[in-house]
Amino acid sequence: REHPGLHLAPAGSPVPRESALMRWGLVPRWAREIGTGQPLINARSETVAEKPSFRDSYRERRCLVVADGFYEWQAAGRRKQPYWIGLSDRQAFGFAGLWDRWKAPDGSAVESCVILTTEANDALRDLHDRMPVILDPENFDLWMDPDTIPWELEPLLKPREEDDILFHPVTTRVNYVANDDPLCVEPMQTQTELF
Strand partners, 40: 26
Q: Which of 38 and 142 is assigned the larger pLDDT?
A: 142
**Dihedral sign, CA of 66, 122, 82, 43?**
positive
Asked if 118 and 45 touch (Cβ cutoff 8 Å), the reply is yes
- Sorted by where each starts, the structural domains of the chain and their CATH numbers stand as 23-188 (3.90.1680.10)
Q: Residues 171, 192: contact at Cβ < 8 Å?
A: no
- In the predicted model, is pLDDT for residue 150 greater than 70? yes
What sign does the CA torsion over 101, 62, 115, 149 have?
A: positive
How many C-beta neighbours within 10 Å does residue 18 have? 4
Helices and strands, number each (H, E), in the chain: 4, 10
Q: How far is the first Cα of the chain from the last one, in angstroms, to the nearest whole number?
A: 71
Concatenated DSSP letters for 1-67?
A: ---TTSS---SS----------EESB--TT-SSSSSSS-B-EEETTTTTT-TTTHHHHHH-EEEEEE
Decide if pLDDT at 135 tops 70: yes
Nearest Cα to 31, choosing from 60, 56, 13? 56
pLDDT of 1: 35
Q: Say how far apart CA 41 and CA 148 lie, in whole Å.
A: 24
pLDDT of residue 77: 85
Mean pLDDT of the chain: 88
Each residue of 42-71: pLDDT tens digit? 999 999 999 999 999 999 999 999 999 999
Q: In the predicted model, is pLDDT for residue 2 greater than 70?
A: no
Reported as a pLDDT band with limits 50, 70 and 90, residue 163 is very high
Average pLDDT over residues 7-29: 71
